[in-house]
Amino acid sequence: MTGTWSTAILTCSDQGARGERTDSSGQWIRGWASSRGAEVKGHRVVPDDRAVIEAALIHFCDVDRVDLVLTTGGTGLGPRDVTPEATLAVVDRQVPGLPERMRAATSALTPTAVLSRAVAGIRGRTLILNLPGNPKGVRECLEAVEDVLPHALAVLTGRIRDHGRAEDHGHGHGSPRPPHPGAPGDTNCAHGQHGPDRTS
């Protein structure tokens, strides 16, 4: 997966937000994105708080207008795992095939991966994808969907039509994109799991 696209990383972890845990997964995602030509426009570490996660996702989509938001953490069965709920609250449409493919691929390696509640969806022209909270799970999940992400982002941002035909007026970093209705201002989120994932 290479090309010009922008991304933001959101690590959801109570311990990480308090500075008690190193954001290894978020840093791994940053390295993965950068090595594939992406511009990392934002990287935050927030607590496992649904309202805070929702606000950060909305900011990345509506204000920073990135092509892809990758979250890490908070997709398991614990009472503080609320990243999927926060994601579903802000997206316009779901993309269920991505997390389905991740679970199918990773459960062969880690049986408890089937317990992941990760979701994916679209807000405006931004794709949001939930990932586990540990680097191993993040790597395995991205490997499972990496081959389809370039096409998904190209279609979503208007660089190609849905059937793959290139467009001259596609969305690039210098091209305008319509804001999502009701785009808010910045949030005061702080900056920094496979199967059932607890990062707290």
Summarised one tens digit per residue, pLDDT across range 132-144 is: 999 999 999 999 9
pLDDT in tens, 160-183: 876 544 443 333 333 344 444 444
Secondary structure, 3-state, 30-55 = HHHHHHCCEEEEEEEEECCCHHHHHH
Calculate Rg over the CA atoms of the chain: 16
Is 5 a residue whose pLDDT tops 70? yes
Structure tokens at 136: 């191993």
Q: Which segment of 2-16, 30-44, 89-103 scores lowest on mean pLDDT?
A: 2-16
Mean per-residue pLDDT, 56-77: 98
Spatial contact of 16 and 193, defined as CB atoms under 8 Å apart: no
The answer to whether domain 5-156 has CATH 3.40.980.10 is: yes
Euclidean distance between the first and final Cα of the chain, in Å? 31
Rounded to an integer, what distance in angstroms lies between the CA atom of residue 187 and that of residue 172? 25
pTM for the predicted model, two decimal places: 0.81
Give the pLDDT of residue 195. 43
Q: Which carries the bigger pLDDT value, residue 68 or residue 197?
A: 68
Mean pLDDT, rounded, of the chain: 85
Other Cβ atoms less than 10 A from the Cβ of 92: the count is 12
CA distance 139 to 53: 22
